[in-house]
Amino acid sequence: MRWGPLIRTLDALPRDEFDVVHIHTPFIAHYAGARFARRANLPCVATYHTFFEEYAQHYVPAMPKWLGRYLARAFTRSQCDDVQALIAPSEPMRDVLVEYGVSTPIHVLPTGLAADRFVAGDGNRFRAQSGLPTDRPIMTYIGRVAHEKNIDFLVHVFAKVRQTVPRAMLVIAGEGPARESLRHLVASLKLEADVFFAGYLDRNTALLDCYAAANVFVFASRTETQGLVLLEAMAQGTPVVSTAELGTRSILKPGCGALVAQENCDEFAATVVRVLQDDNLQKDLAERGRAYAKTWSSAFMARRLADLYGTLRLAPKTSGVAA
């Protein structure tokens, strides 16, 4: 995204047709959106999606950790000062912003789950189209294949799982910069025949089928501001085993249809094995997960967002944290 074309596009918009500017992307898009709001005399709100402090360590590994933390926090405070209200998708993410010293009012508003996420996928179709056996238990990760998602940990967990469940398979669905390093890791562990890289999947068809094909969905990211994929898995009736870090803590509540494990290879693997070997547990988690996912309806969250838009006024910023 280039500054010049973006600004020209925004400047050509009829300003009197807008009531509020809502920014979802940092860096250039953020500055352009805030500039448009000021020039159009409109209230401006931003949703904080990304935990930059953790990302810096993965993408600029030569940078000292303390410097990456300092720059990420200073950058975050600067961008948050540009708007009249902030949306954090989870309470832990709000707490992070407060710790950074952000004074703009913060509203906790999860993204919510769209109605089409509850359309039942066809697990047998995914297995058939992917050439996967129908009788082998599948442990699945779905999401961006990036270093900060901690997928290498899941590969090591899978190696442990196979010591007890030797016919288990691992499916990794998604694209991203960590894909090749993960392939090398899989090869070094001699797991090539048992790990399937599904690549990018269409959200409305193959992705739902991939969730439905899994016997257990696994997740161990340390950087999620919410962790919507956990809800998507639950909506498909797929049992979930996950760590509870940052935003995922707000989803992984008791009785939600998921089992929480620490980021310890032996403990996490034992939890996955427990799910794979207990059909009754799988059924119970599936039923609980479907019911719980429905409580995160995007329609309900959209009504809350509309109410927030209605309260925004062009007034001097006030500090504090909204409930």
Residue 291 contacts by C-beta under 8 Å, 6 or more apart in sequence? 257
Query: Residue 317 has what pLDDT?
Result: 43
Q: Is the dihedral of CA 67, 68, 73, 79 positive or negative?
A: positive
84-139 pLDDT tens trace: 999 998 787 888 899 999 999 999 888 788 888 888 899 999 999 999 999 999 99
How many other CB atoms are there within 10 angstroms of residue 319's CB atom? 8
Q: Exposure pattern of 128-143 as b/e (b: 16+ CB <10 Å)? A: eebebeeeebbbbbbb
Helix locations, the chain, DSSP H: 3-11, 28-40, 52-59, 65-80, 91-100, 123-130, 151-164, 179-188, 206-213, 228-235, 265-276, 279-294, 298-311
Query: Residue 55 has what pLDDT?
Result: 62
Domains 3-112+299-311 and 115-296 share a fold: yes
Whether 267 and 288 have beta carbons less than 8 Å apart is answered as: no
Tell whether the model's pLDDT for residue 314 goes beyond 50. no
DSSP state of 19: S
**Per-residue tokens: 6:** 């973006």
What's the mean pLDDT in 167-187?
Answer: 97
Whether 97 and 48 have beta carbons less than 8 Å apart is answered as: yes
Taking the C-alpha atoms of residue 62 and residue 50, their distance in angstroms, rounded to an integer, is 21
15-51 pLDDT tens trace: 989 999 999 988 899 999 999 999 999 999 999 877 7
* Position 313 confidence tier, pLDDT thresholds 50, 70, 90: low
233-259 pLDDT tens trace: 999 999 999 999 877 888 898 889 899
What's the CATH architecture for 115-296? 3-Layer(aba) Sandwich (3.40)
52-92 pLDDT tens trace: 676 656 656 677 877 878 888 888 899 998 899 999 987 87
Domain segments of the chain as ranges: 3-112+299-311, 115-296
Q: Nearest 5 degrees, angle CA 134-CA 163-CA 263? A: 100
- Check: CATH 3.40.50.2000 for 3-112+299-311? yes
Whether 52 and 74 have beta carbons less than 8 Å apart is answered as: no
Closest CA to 46 of 69, 79, 75, 74: 79
